[in-house]
């Protein structure tokens, strides 16, 4: 009954009804919502599970700085003590960074359990989208989205990010999907569920560490204003779901496709040998890739996130 009542509310009503019980906005975020300033949602899994300490904290703070420098306000999202937090302070970011993988990695399925039991949780793309939508934030910047894993025809291992993109009205600025995935099937899944994949100044779907995948996007957009108008039109038409805005990694930090493919194959072989499955796969592979590239993949990861934060802030301003 409570859920039905909440679902019938508008965003301001929803926030008011949930504020004390479930969701907690920082003062800066609450003021920005009230005065309609441009906001960018940022995830917290990249802090706790995506990079080692202290690079994770340094990167998170640098991403927030980049958002501000480009005219928007960063809203880093996490679950702390069972509260859905929108807008973290530096101490909270440092706390998540130090705890690392001891923090629960929270997707849609995990949210009620984390909240009910007062847990700390780092939000994935899917859960960040959910909480951002609750707060009325339409633009989200991340590194790369999840997707269909290799061998999914047997394992059915498909990231919840893709289903969230089909149902939640948040645009995700990313460097495509991580090339540890089956990118062709990932794009097929998004097409089936009506999620547009837009290439930012590119015709080709980027593959996280590299600008090249050999796969085409649905549409290419070269202007922030055109992109903002398209998003607005989509949602005004009542077409539910998000949009993937695929923003290639800057050329100077991009790996040659052949080299990164070879490294990923080596990392995947080791993961299979060690029988690493489910949500443990991605953190293992990222760490292994960093090792095999002597740390240069981590620098590429940082640069592509900053590049996405910049574009997301410009888009939020345009909207």
Active site residues: 43, 178
Within 8 A by CB and 6+ apart from 304, the residues are: 143, 144, 175, 208, 209, 247, 249, 250, 253
Whether the CB-CB separation of 145 and 244 falls below 8 Å is answered with yes
Dihedral of alpha carbons 284, 289, 295, 297, sign: negative
Q: Is 21 in a helix, a strand, or coil?
A: coil
Nearest by Cα to 190 from 158, 230, 154, 220: 158
Check: CB of residue 116 under 8 Å from CB of residue 79.
no
Q: How many C-beta neighbours within 10 Å does residue 318 have? A: 18
Which tokens go with 260?
A: 């990164």
Q: Which of 137, 136, 120 is nearest to 44 (CA)?
A: 120
Spatial separation of the C-alpha atoms in residues 50 and 143, rounded to whole Å: 10
Contact call for residues 48 and 96 (beta carbons, < 8 A): yes
- Using CA atoms, how far apart are residues 9 and 5, in angstroms rounded to an integer? 7
């Amino acid at each position: 009954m409570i859920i039905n009542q909440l679902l019938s509310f508008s965003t301001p009503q929803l926030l008011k009804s949930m504020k004390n019980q479930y969701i907690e906005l920082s003062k800066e975020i609450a003021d920005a919502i009230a005065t309609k300033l441009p906001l960018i949602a940022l995830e917290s899994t990249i802090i706790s599970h995506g990079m080692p300490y202290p690079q994770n904290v340094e990167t998170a703070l640098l991403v927030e700085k980049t958002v501000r420098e480009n005219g928007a306000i960063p809203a880093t999202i996490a679950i702390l003590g069972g509260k859905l937090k929108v807008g973290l302070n530096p101490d909270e970011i440092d706390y998540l960074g130090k705890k690392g993988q001891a923090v629960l990695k929270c997707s849609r399925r995990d949210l009620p359990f984390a909240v009910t039991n007062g847990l700390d949780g780092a939000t994935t793309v899917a859960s960040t989208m959910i909480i951002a939508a609750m707060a009325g934030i339409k633009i989200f910047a991340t590194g790369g989205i999840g997707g269909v894993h290799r061998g999914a025809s047997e394992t059915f291992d498909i990231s919840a990010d893709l289903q969230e993109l089909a149902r939640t009205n948040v645009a995700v600025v990313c460097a495509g999907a991580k090339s540890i995935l089956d990118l062709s099937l990932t794009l097929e899944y998004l097409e089936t569920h009506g999620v547009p994949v837009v290439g930012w100044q590119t015709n080709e779907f980027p593959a996280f560490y590299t600008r090249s995948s050999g796969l085409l996007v649905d549409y290419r957009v070269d202007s922030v204003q055109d992109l903002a108008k398209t998003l607005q039109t989509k949602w005004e038409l009542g077409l539910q779901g998000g949009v993937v805005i695929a923003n290639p990694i800057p050329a100077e930090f991009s790996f040659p496709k052949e080299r990164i493919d070879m490294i990923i194959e080596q990392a995947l072989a080791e993961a299979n040998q060690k029988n690493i499955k489910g949500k443990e796969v991605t953190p293992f592979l990222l760490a292994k890739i960093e090792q095999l590239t002597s740390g240069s993949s981590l620098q590429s990861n940082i640069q592509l996130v900053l590049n996405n934060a910049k574009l997301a802030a410009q888009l939020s301003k345009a909207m």
